């Protein structure tokens, strides 16, 4: 895709820090709901033409297409990091979202 046009792509690798604590404290069912909520939040930050995938455990990748600049990628990374700060309710317990590390290629 990137070679055919004048735009670039960016691959984001997201790793949730200390996610194991959510499973330990609230149980695996609540942990699964948190992972689904995280996926929905990430999907809400990107365009329909971008791709969000969980690759296992507490790791996600995001493929951003049609990138015009590095600043656009940086803005998207900051947007994703900011939504990770919002707590959520999982299995009737308020859960603080785990912090997130993001690598970009």
Tell me the sheet residues that pair with 100: 16
Catalytic residue among 18, 50, 58, 85: 58
**Secondary structure string (H, E, C) spanning the chain:** CCCCCCCEEEEEEEEECCCHHHHHHHCHHHHHHHHHHHHHHHHHHCCCCCEEEEEECCEEEEEEEEECCHHHHHHHHHHHHHHCCCCEEECCEEECCCCEEEEEC
Cβ proximity of 98 and 16 under 8 Å: yes
58 belongs to the catalytic site:
yes
| Catalytic (active-site) positions | 58
């Amino acid at each position: 895709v990137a070679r055919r046009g004048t735009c670039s792509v960016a691959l984001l690798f997201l790793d949730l820090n200390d996610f194991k604590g959510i499973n330990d404290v609230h149980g695996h069912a609540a942990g699964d709901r948190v992972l689904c909520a995280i996926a929905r939040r990430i999907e809400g930050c990107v365009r329909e033409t971008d791709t969000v995938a969980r690759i296992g455990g507490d790791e996600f990748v995001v493929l951003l297409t049609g990138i015009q600049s590095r600043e656009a990628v940086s803005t998207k990374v900051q947007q994703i990091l900011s939504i990770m700060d919002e707590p959520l309710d999982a299995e009737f317990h308020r859960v603080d979202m785990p912090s997130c590390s993001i690598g970009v290629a």
